[in-house]
Amino acid sequence: MINVTKTYLPNKKKYQKYVDEIYANGWITNNGPMVKELEKRLAKYLGVQNIILVSNGTSALEIAYRTLDIKGFAITTPFSFVATTSSLVTNGIKPIFADIDAKTLNIDPEKIEEQITPNTSAIVPVHVFGNACDVVAIDKIAKKHDLKVIYDAAHAFDVKFKGESLLNYGDISTLSFHATKLFHTIEGGALIINDDTLVEKARYLINFGIENAESIPELGTNAKMNEFEAAMGLCMLDEIEEVLEKRKNVDDIYHKELVGLVSLTTQNPHSTKNYGYFPIILKDEDERLKIQKALNEKQIFPRRYFYPSLDTLYYIEPKQKCEISRTISNKILVLPMYPELSEEEQYHIIETIKIKMDA
């Protein structure tokens, strides 16, 4: 069986050493030494100033909204994992969708500005599949209308834009370190905060709003990362270059064999790739169904990211319709992509697609 993704597990003996340390010091949560070490190492590796580790990517988004005091409406994309939208709704913020660009699959900056009203307080774009949004255009719009920008950068670990970390754009960028991501901490996430004055507030918010034993200055929640997860992150970081290289090899083969046969996303020319995903866009839903069925029959399981288009969710008010996002969500497939995917398995996937395309 070949699934769309497979969790990468780093060196077991190295992880065991970290676990032994945890047992020895008895510190398993509440900003322990491994969380602190991982924050320090990740900040250096990613090229960011302030990073705060949290329990998952959804919590990272929610803490970002609270840190920036987002109210009213936020303009976001309908083409993303559901957490991008649900995290807004559960924090009392109304998502207003701007449709996507059919080639990049990212939010279309031209459609953002027409959705802005006096009730708009933020823009929440997503770097879909790690492809950088038009951050320059979005920055101009935000400054013009005095809006905060929170980037859902769940897919954008280690992506550079014009030679610098993409995560440094916006007021806050959030990461997911879920087990399916190219860098993971089993479960986990992070906030990258560019304003030093907001870091302390965010740290209170992830720890019930507590400053110390006698002071609770914020209304917080429990979003802390634990030591076992941080230990996994430290092991992953030791092996991340190998992981990225193997993913690049998989990406290179797919690109060489499938370019011209199916539509591929248009990469931001100023952005690097992290090889987290390999989406293909078929001619229509019928072709997608045909290809998906052929692959499934051979125990190959790609996935239709992202379906359904988030503007169709029942709990969205006001009702909206984003035609491009709905169309793409019906005809996209993300092919299996992970470091251990062998060339033999990969060519089996490719030949199945080619045969069915010719049929």
Query: Which residues belong to the active site?
Result: 181
Distant-in-sequence, close-in-space partners of 275: CB < 8 Å, separation ≥ 6: 130, 182, 244, 247, 248, 250, 251, 337
CB 281 within 8 A of CB 262: yes
Peptide bond into 125 cis (omega under 30): no
Cβ count within 10 A of residue 314: 6
- Sign of the alpha-carbon dihedral angle for 222, 226, 232, 238: positive
Q: List, edge to edge, every strand of the sheet that includes 94-97.
A: 51-54, 189-193, 172-176, 148-152, 120-124, 73-76, 94-97
Closest CA to 277 of 236, 248, 316: 248
Gyration radius of the chain's alpha carbons: 21
Give the separation between CA 141 and CA 86, rounded to whole angstroms.
24
Tokens 């199945």 locate to 352
Tokens 């860098």 locate to 183
